[in-house]
Structure 1
Amino acid sequence: MWARNWRYISWGSSRLWISPIRGVRRSLATLGSSGPRPVPLSYKLLDGQDALPPVVFLHGMFSNKNIFQAEAKTLAQQTGRKVLIMDARNHGESPHSPDCSYEAMSADLQALLQKLGLGPCVLIGHSMGGKTAMMVALQKPELVERLVSVDISPLVTPNMPDVFKIIRFMKYLNIPGDLSHSQAFKFLDEYLEPFVTDSSIRQYLFNSLVRIDGQYVWKVNGENLQQQKHQLLDTLQIQGVYPGHALFLRDTHSLFLPSSHYPKIKLLFPEVQFQNIPDSGHITHIKKPQEFMDSILSFLS
Structure 2
Amino acid sequence: MLRSAFTRNALETIGLRRNISTTVDLNYTSQFPASDNKTDGAIVILHGLFGSARNWGAHSRAFARNLNRPVYALDLRNHGASPHAEPMTYSTMADDVAEFIRKHGLKDVSLIGHSMGGKAAMSVALSPAHSNLLEKLIVVDIAPSRGSLSSDFKAYVDAMQSIESAGVSTRKEALEILEEVEKNPDITTFLLTNLVPSPSSSKFRIPINILARSIDELGSFPYAPEDGDAPWDGQTLFIKGTKSKYINRRNLPTAEKLFPGMKLEEVDSGHWVHSERPIEFGKLVEEFVGLI
Q: Name the TM-score, length of structure 1 as normaliser.
A: 0.79
Shift in alpha-carbon separation, 1:81–1:197, aligned structure 2, 3 A: same
Q: Pick from 138, 144, 153: which aligns with 1:148?
A: 138
Q: Does the 8 A contact of 1:131 with 1:236 survive in 2?
A: no
Q: Deviations over 1:268-301 (max 9, x none)?
A: 00111111111x2112222222222122112122
Shift in alpha-carbon separation, 1:200–1:271, aligned structure 2, 3 A: farther
Shift of residue 212 of structure 1? 6.7
Shift in alpha-carbon separation, 1:117–1:211, aligned structure 2, 3 A: farther
Q: Deviations over 1:220-259 (max 9, x none)?
A: 1121121122111013346221111111111214222213
- Structure 1 residue ranges without an equivalent (≥5): 1-26
Q: Give the distance between the partners of 1:297 and 1:212, measured in 2 at CA.
A: 41
Q: Give the distance between the partners of 2:240 and 2:180, measured in 1 at CA.
A: 25
The answer for the alignment partner of 1:35 in structure 2 is 20
Q: Name the TM-score, length of structure 2 as normaliser.
A: 0.81
Secondary structure of the residue aligned to 1:247 is strand
Q: Does the 8 A contact of 1:100 with 1:228 survive in 2?
A: yes
The answer for the alignment partner of 1:224 in structure 2 is 210
Structure 1 runs of 4+ with >4 Å offset: 174-177, 186-191, 211-216
* Root mean square deviation of aligned Cα: 2.8
The answer for the alignment partner of 2:56 in structure 1 is 68
Shift of residue 102 of structure 1? 0.8
Q: Does the 8 A contact of 2:23 with 2:99 survive in 1?
A: yes
1:268 aligns with 2:220: no
Q: Give the distance between the partners of 2:92 and 2:39, measured in 1 at CA.
A: 30
The answer for the alignment partner of 2:289 in structure 1 is 300
1:258 aligns with 2:242: no
Shift in alpha-carbon separation, 1:126–1:51, aligned structure 2, 3 A: closer
- Structure 2 residue ranges without an equivalent (≥5): 1-12
Q: How many residues are aligned here? A: 267
Q: Does the 8 A contact of 2:156 with 2:178 survive in 1?
A: no
The answer for the alignment partner of 2:186 in structure 1 is 200
Q: Give the distance between the partners of 1:128 and 1:223, measured in 2 at CA.
A: 18
Q: Which has the higher helix share?
A: 2
Q: Give the distance between the partners of 2:195 and 2:275, measured in 1 at CA.
A: 17
1:233 aligns with 2:219: yes
Shift of residue 40 of structure 1? 0.9
Q: Pick from 288, 292, 295: which aligns with 2:277?
A: 288
The answer for the alignment partner of 1:44 in structure 2 is 29
| AA of the residue aligned to 2:27 | S
